[in-house]
Structure 1
């Protein structure tokens, strides 16, 4: 019990340090998230060890992070109001597919060429492609939140984050299931792919309907917060039952549960009521965002920057080319605004959380039949996660700045109130 108390105190201290680092980084006009990520790396098990392996592997810690991921999902879900996105629905779907599948194609082809000449099995190129296409939504969204961005790029990115998550899961698990069936006894049933995508959405819609009925009525901010937290806990609780008890291994995306849950209730209540709810929930959302980003940073080993090799450089560059060119092409064929064509791809570079989860699954499949391939993936992606995340956050911030979307949300709200 005493050990657990010390671990919890260590986590609380880490959150306080991350908050301080974020404010410090903001002073030099960089996104606060960069401070949170760096704090995670410094305080994680590979450096100071304030948040050590014992904490990261503890069930209570994973539970807290999953609940807060569900809460962060509200940042995306509450923007998925049908009246706001119905005009751009076709553009969103096409651009999501071109940037995600484009990344899969570019990374897979580049690594296939490299592996052909180095004698490494070509199927590994497809696994790299499957890991590369996913985007971690939290880093870019934290920039949106911090700098109050609004405009064509922001309005495309937020709903795209939800769609991109689903496409990433389908492509990665389809790829890994086909490869595992060929080389390993550890086979992933086809129905699991659909389950991994659809189950979080079904859970979220179910609890979102309940939230819609309960949150419609005007309430004090205190009662609203209590109701919202209760339903987030119910949503997460249902997710835990499936993730820990029913499914063969924990694979549910809790942020996707939060997205589906909040998108459902956001479409059931008035715009003014939704603004009241999110205004009351903002302080909790801020803390949730810090912990989720801190959690992305803690597993990252900064020593890997020094040991990063050719495969890491190829991975980072080919993924960036795939994301940018795919987003540019999708925006061009759907006749999206010029700023979306030029800058959307730059906001899609953050990657670490999703990449590390997918890497862990790929390594577990490969370590028996192909241990050398497992080492190549683990070393390459771990190093890329550290380097890419720092660069990607800065680039995402500059993309919103170049698109002219800084502080627009505040200005628009002022205009509407007048």
Structure 2
């Protein structure tokens, strides 16, 4: 039975399913996979990648090579949004404060990974398989590729766990700068390898390419960011801000494709220029783009998993991949540790940064493809297989390591917003469980006595069985006192108002409670059970006090970390 089902699914491919159905399938499967792993306390990005493996070339082959190529524009767009959001974290004051640390750590972790992979692949490959020239050349190219760190999976975890602090700041700075270092190291390696293989190549042409990519990427990102700033200063509507922001990102990515330069770098520069030119407007832009981007993130990581092809691996490729994986991991961890230590980074950065630099994807894969074009044949094909195989492994393991690091560094949950707190906090957590109340049959002088002993503006009215009957407000008291001749005869039951309930209970979120409060223009909510027995009372001011105190606590804790 299972074989028949599997056979049926393997017959489905991009040729049989239309693009809209495939997009729906990818987003649904990715979301379900992410949610399942999130329940298991594993970062949801791992679930997206596993969903891609199941649907892709190593699984049911529904997302085949043709589908991946057809969906490439969506992939580029997701990568552009990720780069744009990372650029938004690269504020000038952060670089003034941490710039020297960033450079020291970047060079230490990148160059150490480069050297360790180069030596291990060259030495062990020569010993096991012979042909020293080939394996030392292969090691040099793989070493350069090993220096790259993928920002996508790393930053996705930081955003998922609302991380904030010196470790988070350092990670974002390093993954943003890694591209440039990897390109320069690859240029040096590509200029040396032909001589090792007995051919000749121009050093100038090998170095010119990455210089052109970096320079053009900076110019493209800066130009479209300046254009976006000018547009944003003319409009205040959120829908127009979002549209102009996305258009600018798309124009920058499209220009990078035309010019054959690094799209991620162009998008990062765009975000960096925007956040430093327009601090106030940029907050709204990044908030809107972030809210829009989730489906594209899911699509991106599902396609990362779908690209992995288990059938293309050989025993020798697996052997070199293991060496590469060990060398890259050891090099990055060692380099990051000593780079952070000798640059005077905070203790949390020294201790936990080595766990945050494992991920490898876009730049590494791009350089492997470039290597296969420059060096066609065995060496180029081997690099693509090795980088693809190791990318799959580190993309699965990397996010969990980042999660471990930010939790142990106590930076998870410090980048919360007001909406996060309202959504995650329940009414039962902050309501007054023993609020001052008024019995329905007491006189106005007794009501005034209760009012004088509390700061509440609204009081629940109950019967002897604590069943809610209504509420009394300050305004209703004033109106009754205006009629002095009947004031002494008035009971609570006579002046109470109907209470607003609308299904809010102890398990409801504060966001739901605030929406009801705003919709009905009241400043309170009585919380009752199914029999209308009073369980507690929630005032709008209590919600504001709670949110403000939590935001201030998070701000102080992040600031105290250095």
Specify if TM > 0.5.
Answer: yes
Does structure 1 residue 73 correspond to structure 2 residue 103? no
Q: 1:242 to 1:381 in 2, by over 3 A?
A: closer
Q: 1:404 to 1:381 in 2, by over 3 A?
A: same
Q: Runs of 5+ in structure 1 lacking a partner?
A: 244-251
- Show CA shifts across 1:69-118 (max 9, x none): 11211221111110233111111111111111111011112222213423
Does structure 1 residue 268 correspond to structure 2 residue 277? yes
Give the TM-score normalised by the residue count of structure 1: 0.89
Distance 1:330 1:205 in 2: 30
Does structure 1 residue 280 correspond to structure 2 residue 288? yes
- Show CA shifts across 1:220-241 (max 9, x none): 2111101111211221222232
Does structure 1 residue 102 correspond to structure 2 residue 239? no
Shift of 1:267: 0.8
Question: What is the aligned counterpart of 1:414 among 551, 557, 562?
Answer: 551
The residue correspondences of 1:20-169 to structure 2 (distance < 5 A) are 20-58=32-70, 61-118=71-128, 119-120=130-131, 121=133, 122-169=136-183
Are the equivalent residues in 1 in contact too, given 2:26–2:299 (CA < 8 A)?
no
Shift of 1:196: 1.8
Q: Which residue of 2 aligns with 1:16?
A: 28
Give the TM-score normalised by the residue count of structure 2: 0.67
Does structure 1 residue 317 correspond to structure 2 residue 323? no
Distance 1:366 1:224 in 2: 45
Higher strand share: 2
- Show CA shifts across 1:352-394 (max 9, x none): 33332222222333334xx2x3454344333322222212222
- Show CA shifts across 1:308-365 (max 9, x none): 7332222111111100111111111111011111111211001133332222222333
Q: 1:185 to 1:299 in 2, by over 3 A?
A: farther
- Show CA shifts across 1:266-315 (max 9, x none): 11113x43222222222222223222222322211356799673322221
- Higher Cα Rg: structure 1 or 2? 2
Aligned-pair RMSD on alpha carbons?
2.6
- Show CA shifts across 1:198-236 (max 9, x none): 211110011111112222456121111011112112212
The residue correspondences of 1:240-389 to structure 2 (distance < 5 A) are 240-243=257-260, 252-270=261-279, 272-302=280-310, 309-368=318-377, 371=378, 373-389=379-395
Bigger RCO of structures 1 and 2 (CA < 8 A, at least 6 apart): 1
For 1:219, what is the secondary structure of its paired residue?
Answer: coil
Mean Cα deviation higher: 77-86 or 44-53 = 44-53
Q: 1:185 to 1:63 in 2, by over 3 A?
A: farther
Q: Which residue of 1 aligns with 2:500?
A: none
Shift of 1:127: 1.1
Distance 1:260 1:363 in 2: 28
Shift of 1:13: 1.7
Q: Runs of 5+ in structure 2 lacking a partner?
A: 1-13, 418-548, 557-562
Distance 1:284 1:302 in 2: 33
Distance 1:173 1:286 in 2: 35
The residue correspondences of 1:167-246 to structure 2 (distance < 5 A) are 167-180=181-194, 183=197, 189-216=206-233, 219-243=236-260
Q: 1:6 to 1:76 in 2, by over 3 A?
A: same
The residue correspondences of 1:396-411 to structure 2 (distance < 5 A) are 396-410=402-416
For 1:290, what is the secondary structure of its paired residue?
Answer: helix
For 1:134, what is the secondary structure of its paired residue?
Answer: coil
Are the equivalent residues in 2 in contact too, given 1:11–1:51 (CA < 8 A)?
no
Distance 1:379 1:211 in 2: 40
Shift of 1:38: 0.8
Are the equivalent residues in 2 in contact too, given 1:149–1:409 (CA < 8 A)?
yes
Are the equivalent residues in 2 in contact too, given 1:41–1:302 (CA < 8 A)?
no
Q: 1:11 to 1:117 in 2, by over 3 A?
A: same
Q: 1:83 to 1:181 in 2, by over 3 A?
A: same
Are the equivalent residues in 1 in contact too, given 2:74–2:296 (CA < 8 A)?
no
- Show CA shifts across 1:173-195 (max 9, x none): 33123324664588754321211
Q: 1:83 to 1:104 in 2, by over 3 A?
A: same
